[in-house]
Amino acid sequence: MDVYYYLAVGAALLALLSAVILAKQVSSQAEGTDRMKEIALAIREGANAFLWAEYKILAVFIVVLFGVISFAMGLVAAIAFVIGAVSSILAGYFGMNIATKANVRTANAAKEHGMLRALSIAFSGGAVTGLSVVGLGLLGVGTIFYVTGDPNVLFDYGLGVSSIALFARVGGGIYTKAADVGADLVGKVEAGIPEDDPRNPAVIADNVGDNVGDVAGMGADLFESYVVSIISAISLGVVTFQTEGGAFPLLLAAVGILASVLGTILVRFSKQQNPKRALDIGTYFSGGIVVIGALILSNFLFGSLNPGFAVVSGLAAGILIGILTEVYTSAEFKSVKKIAKQSETGAATNIISGLAVGMSSVTVPLLLICAAIFVSYEVSGLYGIALAALGMLSTTGITVAVDAYGPIADNAGGIAEMSGMDSSVREITDELDAVGNTTAAVGKGFAIGSAALTAVSLFVSYAEAVDLDAISILEPRVMIGLFIGGMMPFLFSAFTMQSVGKAAFEMIEEVRRQFRTMPGIMEGTTKPDYKKCVAISTKAALKEMLAPGLIAIATPVVVGLTLGVQALGGTLAGALVTGVMMAIFMANSGGAWDNAKKFIEQGNHGGKGSEAHKASVVGDTVGDPFKDTSGPSLNTLIKLMSIIALVFAPIFMSRGSLL
């Protein structure tokens, strides 16, 4: 086992070293004019202030749960939990820190050198996030497994990762969408000024939100998926194949890191003037390396290609789900164009059309997930399902890089607008941003698909842990658990949507107040109070993230203690089914609304300022918390509930049900 561990850790260190090199290269680039530096500094300070305030709250949570786990499960389990929590925090922070440096440098590169240099810097910033995620994840899992030799301790590590990921996703999502909704509704619709106009008091908060939500929050989210998929595969592999079964996931993750590093190099030095094509080449190249590596490792360790085929089934499903997400959310296809057309008759028809697109988009991705489960089980049993989840996440390094590139490009466009750069610069950043919107939507589809397969593999691990061969839905307690689990994504989404609504209400009132009482803002003679809007988003996000997070943690514990392990199995199944469907629906509706608005802004259906445009802005603001707060948070919800069930399974079994 030693040699397998050293190979895995070597790959993890390669990822972290590559991230450091890229971060230094990005930081060495010129920032541009004093005005650009001033705006970038305001964004960076706002993002850091929010994260440090969030981490202070999470530190209290970590200490409390450390005590609970120490008492209930032992000191080793508690230490593993803390390591997981800290790793998750670092994964998000490293990515956000470089993103707030890459944004202004991307804008300046667009001005000084053109598309290729701007793309390289924006992608390099995203790659720091991606490589930090896989490097920290594999290093943590591999080291804990090697030191303890106990797969069960890995679930305690996973609990720390999942807990922080949920709060990071929810908190960051509330922050960014409160600012975004306030900036759009008052700025675009009421005041009639462009997006990222420096006269909009919420514009800095909006750009800060891109970093804390779409970089730090997303990084923590996919860090969790990546780590948990490896943990589940190791756990089931050790039971099924002993040493080889535990080694295969570690080595596969190492191959994925190597593939991501090579794919990153390919994108950075690509001569493609089309940003999307350059990103696609790197992604598919990495996927091809993983396919070859999985089959070679499978034959070497097991003398069979079957485990490798399970990996390929998951990877193929992930790629196809990403393509389908683009079909439903890109303006190149009819779904988005239909929403844009419906906007001509007002906001109501825009929203109706967007909801329909989101609902219809659920079908094929779910069938692909079902196909991956079927194929992987047929070739490798329950272990194969876990390998399919890991296969989908094997290229996480470059997938996160492509996803994190989006908010960096978005910020670059904002800085270009606020600093009054030439329209030719904004054309470059707008093209980068348009591709970023598509990659973000594809990234969300990928995250949802991987969350579904990971949750299924965790469900299998839970069944193994509590000795469940089957769960009968005819058993009343199981039926109760099923309904409770099915209800959870709706209750959770209600909390997060209401939180965005409350925060956005306060933001809108503040922006209106500044426009009303400071007339010099619109004339360009008075500087808006940006800090007030940043403070509103920060305060609201920190306050509102607690309730949904605590509900997610408490529910499986309460069900397990009161109704027993079979009922808890029903709860996990119910949450998995409705959670995946809700997540796909929300993410794709939101993405489609967003790109319908941008399609109109390109001059279609009346262009900017038209009635169709105003209707599309309303639809987009409804979709904002769909795609960037509630939808992505559901991925973490279903995995966190499963992890909690696994960690506390021994207590549930020993005490039995109270009812």
Cα–Cα distance for residue pair 574/595, rounded to 1 Å: 32
pLDDT confidence of residue 138: 94
pLDDT confidence of residue 296: 95
According to DSSP, residue 471 is labeled: -
* Widest CA span in the chain: 75
Digit-coded pLDDT (tens) for 438-486: 777 677 777 788 888 888 888 888 888 888 887 888 899 999 999 999 9
Cα–Cα distance for residue pair 391/379, rounded to 1 Å: 14
Query: How far apart, in Å, are the Cα atoms of 66 and each of 76, 83, 157, 470?
Result: 10, 11, 12, 33
pLDDT confidence of residue 559: 93
Ranges of residues in the chain whose predicted pLDDT is under 70: 1, 195, 437, 441, 654-659
What is the extent of the structural domain holding 9? Answer: 2-655
Those residues whose C-beta lies under 8 Å from the C-beta of residue 366, and which sit 6 or more positions away, are: 580, 581, 584
Digit-coded pLDDT (tens) for 118-153: 888 988 999 999 999 999 999 999 999 988 888 889
pLDDT confidence of residue 388: 92
Those residues whose C-beta lies under 8 Å from the C-beta of residue 493, and which sit 6 or more positions away, are: 582, 586, 630, 633, 634
Digit-coded pLDDT (tens) for 557-594: 999 999 989 999 999 999 999 999 999 999 899 989 98
- Considering its fold, how many domains does the chain have in total? 1
Those residues whose C-beta lies under 8 Å from the C-beta of residue 29, and which sit 6 or more positions away, are: 105, 108, 109, 121
pLDDT confidence of residue 658: 62
Question: How far does CA 111 lie from the centroid of its chain?
Answer: 30
Cα–Cα distance for residue pair 434/625, rounded to 1 Å: 19
